A and B are shown apart, each in its own frame.
Chain A
């Protein structure tokens, strides 16, 4: 028995994928031409699996802000904010995020994953309770597990299931944090936050919402699902990432609770990670500004999303339950998912392949993410290539 034995199963899985000739984990983009086009194996490829919802990765002002910051402040911060100090732009980004979410407090992390780990491990400890949506992202699971809190799951987006479990906690409900996503990353369905807020208030619990996939996508100002459902001010902690709609890298937490100011003294993923680089902070700030001042980006995104959803629906594909920028196409089985994904890539359309056990209901999906930067022609090409899967 060796500590390396556990890799035997991983190796078998990897070899199995290699044997099929289809391995989504080894895709290399040789060039990135624009927010929605790259080159894979020498072929021009439409990027429909990048979560680049607002298409800001090539925004000229974002690029200029990044270059300017790099020239002014250098390539990296070379240390954590607690040990090496903050750059003024870190605090300015936090102030802008707090203003955006209309709360008093915000905190920036180096990645979205670190944000969830950092917030949950600071907020929760032994004796606390988490009620976690069963489809929640791995970073939320990991943060909850690392916190030492007691973790109970409730059925995905099922308010009654949540309510029943809160009821079973009796007088411990006040020490309970409900953890959900705003928009779920695989199927693109959104949480019933307005109903969840009512339940959490009745039991005296708290609510954390991960708006990673809904920032810039939903809500009048683009704050996410909580804003869309009119409960932004009722959510205790909002977490999210800069790596999707904002086209950068990093994560954040925004909260009405002043305790968030103290998280930076106990949150190990914050304390022991190098702070976000000047260029990343600068492009994030510029992208947030874009999000706030160009609502037409969101409108274009939704027009594209509706066009793709309708097109695939008319072809008879089984799709996720809601029209939105995440369009999940259910496959017959794992083998057909592998085959169809490869056919699409060869035809110049890159989407995500989602296989069990990381998927709801143990199903296999081809997951498209739509961008405001997609042209109508690109959306139609994606639909056309999916149509060939039907006829092939």
Chain B
């Protein structure tokens, strides 16, 4: 992971942590620790609605628009960081 990906992934982890603090519905009482390798679907068991809610926060933070189709391949925070960087540079 290069520096820019690392920085973006770190920011994404922060945004997701904030999102989960307000929306966590998992079985454990504490929200999980988010890292670049955290899998949003299998690891956090976010449903499709929650992933899209989180994406709206991400789009606003980075001032980008991510096409719905691009979301299909995203599993981890690191995957998302790469998409954010791609969209920013396009």
Contacts and interface: CB of A to CB of B under 8 A. Distances in A.
Closest 3 CB pairs of A and B: A357-B47, A151-B68, A357-B49
B23 A152 contact: no
Interface stretch (B7-15, B50-58, B76-84): B50-58
Interface residues of B, number: 19
Interface string A160-171: 010011001100
A356 B47 contact: yes
A68 interface: no
Contact of B67 (A150, A155, A358, A361): A150
Majority-rule SS of A interface residues: mixed
Interface string B22-57: 010100000000000000000000011110110110
Contacts, number: 47
A168 B60 CA distance: 11
Interface of A: 134, 145, 150-155, 161, 164-165, 168-169, 356-362
Contact of B47 (A134, A155, A362): A362
17 contacts: A134-B52, A152-B65, A152-B66, A153-B52, A153-B56, A153-B68, A155-B56, A161-B60, A165-B59, A168-B63, A168-B65, A356-B49, A357-B48, A358-B49, A360-B49, A362-B23, A362-B49
Interface of B: 23, 25, 47-50, 52-53, 55-56, 59-60, 63-69
B68 A164 contact: no
B60 to A, nearest CB: 7
A151 B53 CA distance: 15
